């Protein structure tokens, strides 16, 4: 009987010991939450500045990501219903250059796309829109987007005081684009006065207070005809927004 009781106690102690060991082992296990950030379609994008896992490096909050918050929004193509107020250059005939500004749906935001077809005989072509901008408090223009196609050189053109005629003075600045989304910054005092394609050295500087027309042109200055032959150069400029901003630090007074 004593032998039986001793074996029973040993067995009971062993069971209790095993139960204690099991409890200690399970109490140290933590449950890892479901990682939703690995999904390509994250529902909550509030704090995400950039997402490298998306195709083409799509940015969900381009203003925040590029540190371009604030300023005066001139065109927010993400929120526009149409671009009917833009004047396109559709040309005429089979071998005519053309420019067409339209809206394009590209996740996560809608953006504007200017499609251009430029033949070797033409120097430039673009789309324009009448505006009413007072940029007297700002030093630069910032655009966010990218370019694709044969041509990468563009011009941003301002006209002022309602003078939009062929022989009136306009103000332009060139910029280059790459096949990646990025900031494009143009310093307002560096817009140069032009007329009929010629630099007007003695013309007054741009009046930032009363800009009445804006135009975007693609140029054929770097058109390599040897590579394309007599075929037109086809290019696409995609823009998410255009805004005016102040330059940080001392005022930027360098002119053309």
Which SS3 state, helix, strand or coil, does residue 7 take? Answer: helix
Q: Which residue has the higher pLDDT, 25 or 138?
A: 138
Write out the DSSP string of 197-221.
Answer: TEE-TTSPPP-TT-EEEEEEEEE-T
**73 pairs with which residues across the strands?**
243
d(CA 170, CA 201): 12
CB 244 within 8 A of CB 135: yes
Task: Quick: pLDDT tens for 67-124.
Answer: 456 789 999 999 999 999 999 988 776 778 999 999 998 767 799 999 999 988 788 8
The CATH number for 151's domain is 2.60.120.260
pLDDT digits (tens, 9 = 90+) for 201-228: 999 999 999 999 999 999 876 555 545 5
Per-residue confidence (pLDDT) for residue 85, from 0 to 100:
94
Which among 133, 104, 65 is positioned nearest to 237, based on CA atoms? Answer: 104
Task: Tell me, yes or no, whether 22 lies in a domain.
Answer: no
Domain assignment present for 120: yes
Which domain covers residue 224, as residue numbers?
Answer: 73-245
In a domain, 34, yes or no: no
Kindly state whether residue 45 falls inside one of the protein's structural domains.
no
Task: Name the average pLDDT for the chain.
Answer: 75
Q: Which token pair is 31?
A: 């449950």
- Assess if residue 27 is contained within a domain: no
Please count the residues of the chain.
256
Q: Is the pLDDT of residue 29 over 50?
A: no
Q: Which residue spans within 23-97 are E strands per DSSP?
A: 72-76, 86-87
CA angle 101–214–114, rounded 5-degree value? 20
Higher pLDDT, 148 or 69: 148
Number of domains in the chain: 1
Tokens standing for residue 121: 């005989």
Q: What is the pTM of this model?
A: 0.71
């Amino acid at each position: 009987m004593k032998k039986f009781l001793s074996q029973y106690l040993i067995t009971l102690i062993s069971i209790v010991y095993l139960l204690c060991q099991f409890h200690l082992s399970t109490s140290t296990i933590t449950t890892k939450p479901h990682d939703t950030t690995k999904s390509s379609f994250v529902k909550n994008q509030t704090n995400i500045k950039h997402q490298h896992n998306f195709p083409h490096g799509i940015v969900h909050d381009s203003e925040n990501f590029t540190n371009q918050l604030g300023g005066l929004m001139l065109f927010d193509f993400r929120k526009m219903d149409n671009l009917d107020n833009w004047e396109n250059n559709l040309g005429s005939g089979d071998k005519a250059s053309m420019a067409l500004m339209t809206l394009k749906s590209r996740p996560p935001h809608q953006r504007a796309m200017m499609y251009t077809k430029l033949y070797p005989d033409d120097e430039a072509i673009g789309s324009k829109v009448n505006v009413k901008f007072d940029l007297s408090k700002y030093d630069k223009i910032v655009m966010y987007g990218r370019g694709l196609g044969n041509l990468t050189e563009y011009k941003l053109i301002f006209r002022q005081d309602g003078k939009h005629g062929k022989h009136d003075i306009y103000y332009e600045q060139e910029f280059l684009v790459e096949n990646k989304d990025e900031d494009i910054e143009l310093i307002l005092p560096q817009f140069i006065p032009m007329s009929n394609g010629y630099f007007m050295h003695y013309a007054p500087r741009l009046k930032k207070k009363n800009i009445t027309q804006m135009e975007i042109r693609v140029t054929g200055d770097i058109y390599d005809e040897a590579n394309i032959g007599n075929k037109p150069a086809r290019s696409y400029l995609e823009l998410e927004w255009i805004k005016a901003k102040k330059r940080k630090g001392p005022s930027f007074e360098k002119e053309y």
